[in-house]
Amino acid sequence: MFYLRAITKRYNNPLLLQIEDKFSGVTIGCINIPQVTCADDLALITHTPEEMQGMIDSVGDFAQRERYCINPTKSSVLMYKNSSKIKSDDCKYHMCGKLLPNEINTTHLGIQRNTSNSADIENKINLGRRAAYSLMGAGLHCGNGLKQDICARLWNSEIVPRLTFGLEVMNLKNKDINVLEAFQRKSLKQIQGLPDKAPKYSSFSSTKESHLLK
């Protein structure tokens, strides 16, 4: 997997260097970041519509010159909310003569993105609940199921990653964290056969479990 990423990045290296030389993108300290890459996925980042269109033109021209196609169904523009008065409907971006859609929600590297950069907590809980149900056949339940320490390992390795994937790049509110913690406490009590009115931290202590987000 690492080798594939290196080959892909080396192939697109002229494009990446061109974007870095011509555009400033966003700034972290004194470092300009106009693009981020992962394998064959390229994300362009900037504060101005003019610079965004310029970067899109560079990507389209490079693709035509190297004779490879960019998947139009996986290419879109997402404008985060900011203090400027620019609206997403006022910005039209084109690549190789085709209009790119301005999305409200999109998926990037498996992470659900939206214009407010907020997390879809309900979807995260549904993912965690489905993962827990899928492990019930393996013994993730009370009664004659697996031992508590093994259940804790399953919870940490199989369910927690699905609950927390991508949340580190989202604008999480305290209520979002509380909802995730409440789901975890309730699920762990059910796995251990504890009543819902059991002490708040009984589920954590008996399964050696810690908070989802610190």
Q: Domain of residue 66: give its range.
A: 2-114
What pLDDT band is residue 178 in, cutting at 50, 70 and 90?
A: very high
- Whole-model pTM: value is 0.71
- Residue 189 CA to residue 13 CA, distance in Å, equals 51
24 with 51: CB under 8 angstroms?
A: yes
In the listed set 114, 142, 162, which residue is the last one of a domain according to the structure?
Answer: 114
Q: Tell me whether residue 102 is in a domain.
A: yes
* % of the chain surpassing 90 pLDDT: 18
First-to-last alpha carbon distance for the chain, in angstroms, is 31
Q: Tell me whether residue 212 is in a domain.
A: no
Tokens representing 168? 């580190």
- Residue 172 CA to residue 167 CA, distance in Å, equals 7
24 plus 64 within the same structural domain: yes
Res 84: pLDDT: 59
> What would the mean pLDDT of 126-132 be, rounded to a whole number?
92
Residue 207 has pLDDT above 70, yes or no: no
83 plus 170 within the same structural domain: no
Given the structure tokens 């101005």, which residue do they identify? 48
Res 125: pLDDT: 93
> What would the mean pLDDT of 148-159 be, rounded to a whole number?
88
